Amino acid sequence: MKFIVRAGNADDCRDIERMIRELAVYEKMPDQVKISHRELERDGFGSNPYYQCLIAEVPEEQKSKDGHTKVGYALFFYTYSTWKGRVVFIEDLYVMPDYRGKGIGKALMATVAKVGKEKQCMRLQLSVLDWNKSSLDFYLAKGAEDLTAKEGWHFIRFSGEALDSLAQEAP
């Protein structure tokens, strides 16, 4: 299968939103998606971007049954480890079901790794749901470590009322 991996741009935001929603359905959390292409455009392609995105695109003759040529994406950003330094974090890595197993996910992830190395990142990190064995196996086969199993780390989140309450405690 022919495909390219390229940097996303503001014109891709409707397709990125579509694939985010597809990923949320796959992850059994479709009601959690509150973002729209407008926020994606503002937050990724404005003057101070919060994220970067790669797009996997197939030629027109290989488009999906729904007419899509943008068939995968990797959305990532930079963070920092006080122990190691610069880190690139993949928030989402998604390939439409009919295009899986064809090297697209590997190409997206490898390109994020390459971009991270060019930015002198010491780590590439991501999270995966505990029931998503196929994705976990994919990452482990590429050399990733499962830090929950190995070191006992837990991913913690404050949102909604908990975030509001915590912010109100600031001096």
Domain map of the chain by residue range? 4-126
pTM: 0.94
For 110, what's the count of Cα atoms within 13 Å in the CB-facing half-sphere? Answer: 10
CB 101 within 8 A of CB 128: no
Predicted confidence (pLDDT) per residue in 4-39, tens digit: 999 999 999 999 999 999 999 999 999 999 999 999
Any alpha helices (H) in 31-125, and if so which ranges? Answer: 37-45, 104-118
CB 69 within 8 A of CB 60: yes
Q: Which of 73, 94, 99, 139 is an active site residue?
A: 139
**Of residues 115, 4, 94, 103, the one with CA closest to residue 52:** 115
- Whether 90 has a pLDDT exceeding 90, the answer reads yes
Predicted confidence (pLDDT) per residue in 49-89, tens digit: 999 999 999 999 999 999 999 999 999 999 999 999 999 99
- CATH number listed for the domain at residues 4-126: 3.40.630.30
What would the two tokens of residue 93 be?
A: 């890595």
80 part of the active site: no
Task: Look up tokens 């975030």; give the residue.
Answer: 163
Q: How many CB atoms lie within 10 A of CB 92?
A: 19
SS3 state of residue 108: helix
- Whether 110 has a pLDDT exceeding 90, the answer reads yes
